[in-house]
Structure 1
Amino acid sequence: MSLWMRALMVAGAMTLASTPAWACKGGKTLFTDDFQEVDASWGLDAPDVTVEDGKVKVKPQPNISNLLIYKGLNFGEADVCLTVRMPTIVSNNDNTMAGPVFWQKDYDNYYMFMITPSGYAEIARKLNGKWMSVIDWKADADIKTQAGASNTLRVTLSGSSIVAYVNDGKFATVKGQMPEGGGRIGMRAQSEENQVDTWKFSALKVTDVAADPAAPVLAPADAAGTTPDTATKVTPAAPAPATTPAAKPVP
């Protein structure tokens, strides 16, 4: 075997080794954004949001969240993957959160899958402007909590099923309500009550839903927003008021 062929095999093996095993599983890519160029459909024109080195850097004001929605496409059944980078400096790691937004109808109606630097995750829904818990905050050992650590969050949307993953580990399977005609996707980041936190998003990808030979067992959504036994854990902060890059909600 020639040295040239050996070099190609080594390079290929390195590429495979560096590819995340938890990328979206569908065979057909519906949408990707590597954030090397700014897509105007995001409306990323606020001082709290910048795009650099293939990442969207979001620095929400204290106790405020930035909601970034891609307005170019709607998605119904889909596999959505997003890499979320933890802040490097936090004061209260239960009081800041970030993650993907999905099935967004408007700024009063959407779902989100959030993680905190303390290693907690939740699925929440905003319905007609009011928050409700779908899966309340709970610890997830798959979350990398180190300062600056990157976590790949994935939500698989199929019919009324929402399956959420952190770094290829299943977080929860629940029932949801897909908007008629599908919904938009996006990103959300929230700062602590008394400080600005810097979150970074990258490697957004949407595929179709891969066939699953094992039908998931669905857990009912907690529509009443009740909180499980909170005496045994610290409950991260509730969602803060959201702002949009243009500071004007878009229906």
Structure 2
Amino acid sequence: MAFGLLVANQGALAACDPENALYEDDFEFLDVSWGAADDSILVDDGALVIKGSGGVVNLETKTAGAAICVDVSVAEAPNVADSPAGLVFWWQDWKNYYSVFVWADGWIEVRRMSDGKSKTLFTQEAGALNPGAGAVNSLELTLQPKDATLSVNATEVRRFKVKRPKDGGAVGLYGISPDDAPATFTFDTFIVNER
């Protein structure tokens, strides 16, 4: 299964430089580096859209250290408390990666998947989040060899310990929604700079 994240650019993200990006996408179309479009992952109106639960990884973003920026929106969600959108980083495969989740009701969570087992690193309320379905939140994640710093809407949320895979990993987008109340997630202005 692939995963997805909603993202849009608000221009205040200092670590990401589109002029010197390892990878940049404004989603005018679905580039082949994201894979093939289908009914659940597609590009619409200048955004990558994930419908239901799923995600995608872009293998052109593989790096050992990076600054990652994206605008994320839980565009439609009958159940916002159970419909997070996020960013996947240091992805090696779907059994080994980290993820950042944003909930439209104001929460952020960081998880690590290792050998198919999920561990929550932290969950916290984030006053910098724009709450509600349809609200856009700009995420900025700076990856160092042993730690990462997460900012939302140009406000630092937390610095936390991570363990970088030996060869680094790729970046992707992720959305999860309940089966009985499918959500739609959008991502825009995705930038990855090598550090």
Q: TM-score, normalised to structure 2's length?
A: 0.88
Is 1:32 equivalent to 2:24 in the alignment? yes
Do residues 113 (structure 1) and 105 (structure 2) align? no
Correspondence 1:71 to 2:59: yes
**CA gap 1:19/1:112 in 2 versus in 1, 3 angstroms:** closer
Q: Which moved more, 1:174-183 or 1:19-28?
A: 19-28
CA distance in 1, matches of 2:37, 2:168: 26
Q: 1:67, 1:127 → 2: CA distance?
A: 18
Q: Which stretches of structure 1, 4 residues or more, deviate above 4 A after TM superposition? A: none
Q: SS at 1:94's partner residue?
A: helix
Matched, 1:128 2:118: no
Partner of 1:98: 85
Alignment partners' CA distance in 2, 1:73 and 1:139: 29
**CA–CA separation in structure 2 for the residues paired with 1:133 and 1:47:** 30
Take 2:60 and 2:20, find their aligned partners in 1: how far apart are those partners? 18
Give matches, 1:154-169, under 5 Å.
154-169=140-155
Residue aligning to 1:178: 164
Structure having the larger proportion of residues in strand: 2
- For 1:225, the equivalent position in structure 2 comes to none
CA positional deviation for 1:23: 4.7
Deviations 1:100-130 (A, max 9, x none): 1100011100001110011000110111001
- The unaligned stretches of length 5 or more in structure 1 are 1-17, 210-251
Identity across the alignment (%): 27
Number of residue pairs the alignment of both structures matches: 186
Contact 1:161 1:175 survives alignment (8 Å): yes
Instruction: Kindly indicate which of the two structures has a greater share of residues assigned to helix.
Output: 1
Contact kept, 8 Å, 1:23 with 1:81, in 2: the verdict is no
1:49 aligns with 2:41: yes
Q: Specify the structure having the higher radius of gyration (Cα).
A: 1
Mapped contact 1:86–1:145 kept (Cα < 8 A)? no
Normalised to the residue count of structure 1, the TM-score between the two structures is 0.70
2:191 is aligned with 1:205:
yes
Point out which structure has higher relative CO (alpha carbons under 8 A, 6+ apart). Answer: 2
